Amino acid sequence: MLSPREADLVRSRGYCFNHAITLMATTEGEPFVRDGFVLYWDGRRVLLSGESLDEDTNKVEPKVRDLVRWCLTEWPVETLWYVGPERLSLAGMCSREFRCMKIIPPTALDTELVVDCRNEVVSRRLRRWLRSESRRAFEIRRTRILLFAADHFRLLDKFFSGKERTEFLLNLVLQMSAFAANGAGEWFEAWHKGRLAGLAMATDSFFDMDMAVFVCSDRTIPGVGDVLHASMIDASREKGKRFLNLGPSLTEGHARFKGKWGGKPRGSPPWWQQWGRGELAKRQYDGWPARLLDLGK
């Protein structure tokens, strides 16, 4: 478990979703900080973020290799995931049964896009819309404890229906449920003519940055996504935050939408690599929520 000093280190120097320990620990395991890196251990699986908290980011690979060696020595690791800016080699470090299972190269969509909340929206068309009657037709309600009602279930059911059952989707649902109850995030409801048209959630993860975790909208009502993003940016600015991290993107259109709001790449997209052994390494999804539901066996 993190010490108060380590938690402060993450809050002061963290900048990516894998550093958002309150969010990630919900599904990835117990968080640790060691040698300037954040990792999660769930008893069988390690997720290691190669994004260093140290100001000196030179020679990251030797430090990560040392950390991997420590994990394999201290814990009965069955699978280890590395997510970081450099491709990592574990040659000569592991037993023969512990082998590389997956290598997922970076793509542009994996880049986390960050908005500087101090800047005015670049698009004149968007600025006009924010002052228009169409924008004023929406009511934004903000809360930290969210009690799901029929309107929320209707919207979420419509949003998630038809989407492929993946580990990411399962983890997102669990994170949403936890944050609705524990008040660790702020929820934004967009109401339009008495109907819930959109829902979003952001977390206060770092001293200078909030993280936009979830946004969904009724696509039959134009402008819902815009009003939710405007509200999250305003809320971050009100708290004295400079940045709002909008995260990676699922599609090119998703990325363009974030760019419209001023989203800029934060660093380079990451490599995803998995090493493992035994039954767990052969599964399509190996996180503990997926294991409990036998998803991707």
In a domain, 120, yes or no: yes
Q: Which residue has the tokens 């000093």?
A: 5
Whether 55 and 125 map to the same domain: the answer is: no
Q: How far apart are CA 278 and CA 259, in angstroms?
A: 43
pLDDT score for 57: 61
Instruction: Count CB-CB contacts under 10 A for residue 79.
Output: 23
pLDDT digit string, tens, across residues 87-109: 988 877 777 788 899 999 999 99
Whether 171 and 235 map to the same domain: the answer is: yes
In a domain, 297, yes or no: no
Under a CB-based contact definition with an 8 Å cutoff, are residues 32 and 38 in contact? Answer: yes
Amino acid at residue number 147: L
CA-based nearest residue to 245, from 217, 188, 203: 203
pLDDT digit string, tens, across residues 106-162: 999 999 999 999 999 988 899 999 999 999 999 999 999 999 999 999 999 999 887
Residues 6+ apart with CB under 8 A from 212: 200, 201, 202, 229, 232, 244, 245, 246, 247
* Domain residue limits at 45: 4-106+270-292
Structural domains of the chain, count: 2
Crossing angle (nearest 10°) for helices 21-28 and 167-182: 120
Residues 6+ apart with CB under 8 A from 292: none
pLDDT score for 58: 64
Weakly modelled stretches of the chain, pLDDT under 70: 56-58, 297
Q: How far is the CA of 177 from the CAs of 31, 157, 170, 182, 183, in angstroms?
A: 20, 14, 11, 9, 11
Whether 144 and 129 map to the same domain: the answer is: yes
Query: Looking at residue 151, which CATH number applies to its domain?
Result: 3.40.630.30
Whether 145 and 288 map to the same domain: the answer is: no
Burial code (b: 16+ CB inside 10 Å, e: under 16) for 30-64 equals ebbbeebbbbbbbebbbbbbbbbbeeeeeebeebb
